[in-house]
A and B are shown apart, each in its own frame.
Chain A
Amino acid sequence: MNRHSLTRAFSLLIRRDLILAMRHRAEMVNPLLFFILVTSLFPLGIGANPNLLQAVGPGVIWVAALLAALLSLDGVFRSDFEDGTLEQYLLSSHPVSLLVLAKVLAHWLITGLPLLLISPLLGVFLGLPPAGIRILFITLLLGTPVLSLIGAVGVALTVGLRKGGMILSLLVLPLYIPLLIFASSAVDTAAAGLSVTAHLSLIAALLVLALSLSPFATAAALRISLS
């Protein structure tokens, strides 16, 4: 295996996915709009009491991010599955886990990054203090890759199924729960003015765990789904 060709394959995959996404720019906006919409639903649903909104704000934004990520995940492997490219990944001489990593990185750039960038605005919507918004940004920076990585395993398991989308949520949402707990608690704590190093370290630990294990799990799942 040529290391030069592996890095080429890796960057080629990312570039291809980015270019494809750019061609359908309207579709890129959908998860973002969903994120903003869902977050905005909460003040409408529970009233605009600033104290209440500030109390539920971190949790609400994070739940909305989870759902938006979930919605966008289905596309990670679907088009490749449908036109047979996925089988080519498995047949190539490159380790599938690294190809998977490239796909997941591209997915994060296309969907996670926009969520991250719009989050300060949503923090303002729900009345979070500046310290809270800063930590919200950092938790999303560390956390959205985790969402993509863990989600990829679920997608790989359901890519061949007809009603894959519904089952995907059932499979993946329980796995998102620890991240949700740590992240929303971090923002709460930061809004109260306390130190959040412990929280952020835990989220970083989750990221490292996901980065090291999920590509292998995803690769194995893809092999099984395409067998």
Chain B
Amino acid sequence: MFNNFFHKLASPKHFYRIAGALIPWLAGACLLLALAGLYYGLIVAPPDYQQGDSYRIIYIHVPAAWMSLFIYMVMAAAGAIGLVWRMKLAEVIAISSAPIGASFTFVALVTGSIWGKPMWGTWWVWDARLTSELILLFLYLGVIALHGAIDDRRTAARAVAILALVGVINIPIIHYSVEWWNTLHQGPTVTKFDKPSIHISMLIPLLLMALSFKLYYACVVLMRARCEVLERERSAGWVRELVETK
């Protein structure tokens, strides 16, 4: 029964339909969790004794940073599956994930930068996490640029898969080297975006927001994937039927 389900899922026509049914549910769950997370994070949790209320940016900065990495992993894994098993759906998921991952990376960078201003007085610090996020953004933009530059969608997907895999191997190396570089050039103020020991009242909203962001990604990647599928399969019979019934 499961085998049948996966076979159906892999076919673009069934994927389009199943994804379309899932999207509203994912959206609803995402919204509920976000509201809960924001309530606990912005209203219930007390202000930090050092940073006051400005620390509340953590509830979007950290989940966004987590998502930026998570989505890259998914993109690389999907790319690998698409490459090895020639699975169209995997290719579609991989390329649909790139702009979303780039957006989360952008959010992590901007919120991190804004958070840094009241703390360290400047709009940008070459802190290890921010620098790694910046490089990650470049990796995402490279994927998006390469995909846009190749005309044939299937060739583009395969090229991007190789790039994503090379990037995935480099991400731990980049993280480590940037961490190390940062400790070398440490300024007088110790930059600490990481929570040394986070209180439970602050941890729960953080996890709620992280989960909400994951559901958001699932929802939005399916939306983008449906567009990609339509684009690729425009001459297929089921697409024409779909359009005629509209």
Contact = CB atoms under 8 A, between A and B. Distances in A.
The answer on direct contact between A and B (beta carbons under 8 Å) is yes
Interface of A: 153, 157-158, 160-164, 167, 170-171, 173-175, 177-178, 181-182, 185, 206, 209, 213, 217, 220-221, 224-225, 227
Please report whether the interface of chain B is mostly helix, strand, loop or mixed according to DSSP: helix
Given A167-B149, A174-B138, A227-B158, 5 more contacts: A153-B162, A158-B149, A161-B150, A171-B142, A181-B181
Interface of B: 83, 135, 138-139, 141-142, 145-146, 149-150, 155, 158-159, 162-163, 165-167, 169-170, 173-174, 176-178, 180-181, 184
Contacts of A173: 138
A173 B158 CA distance: 21
Given A167-B146, A181-B177, A181-B181, A175 B162 contact: no
B142 A177 contact: no
Given A178-B174, A181-B181, A217 B165 contact: yes
Contacts of A213: 169
Contacts of B167: 174-175
The 4 closest A-B pairs by CB, nearest first: A178-B177, A174-B138, A171-B142, A181-B177
Contacts of B150: 160-161
Contacts of B141: 170
Contacts of A174: 135, 138-139, 142, 167, 170, 174
Contact of B170 (A157, A158, A164, A178): A178
A157 B162 contact: yes
Contacts of A162: 149
B181 A221 contact: no
Contact of A185 (B138, B159, B184): B184
B132 to A, nearest CB: 10
A49 B189 CA distance: 27
12 contacts: A153-B166, A161-B149, A164-B149, A167-B146, A170-B141, A171-B146, A171-B163, A174-B167, A182-B177, A220-B162, A224-B162, A227-B155
Nearest to B83: A220
Nearest to A213: B169
Contacts of A206: 173
A205 to B, nearest CB: 9
A163 B146 CA distance: 11
B180 A181 contact: yes
A178 B173 contact: yes
Contacts of A181: 177-178, 180-181
B55 to A, nearest CB: 30
A22 to B, nearest CB: 32
Contacts of A153: 162, 166
Nearest to B172: A178
Nearest to B150: A161
Contacts of B163: 157, 171
Nearest to B137: A174
Nearest to B156: A224
A181 B162 CA distance: 25
A162 B173 CA distance: 31
A129 B162 CA distance: 42
A157 B146 contact: yes
Identify the interface centre among B158, B166, B169, B170: most chain A CB within 10 Å of its CB: B166
B162 A170 contact: no
B174 A221 contact: no
Given A170-B138, A175-B166, A163 B184 contact: no
Contact of B174 (A158, A177, A209, A217): A177
A168 to B, nearest CB: 10
A185 B181 contact: yes
B145 A167 contact: yes
A207 B231 CA distance: 42
Contacts of A164: 149
Contact of B135 (A177, A220, A227): A177
A153 B83 CA distance: 16
Given A153-B162, A158-B149, A177 B177 contact: yes
A203 B105 CA distance: 28
A206 B173 CA distance: 9
Contact of A158 (B135, B146, B181): B146
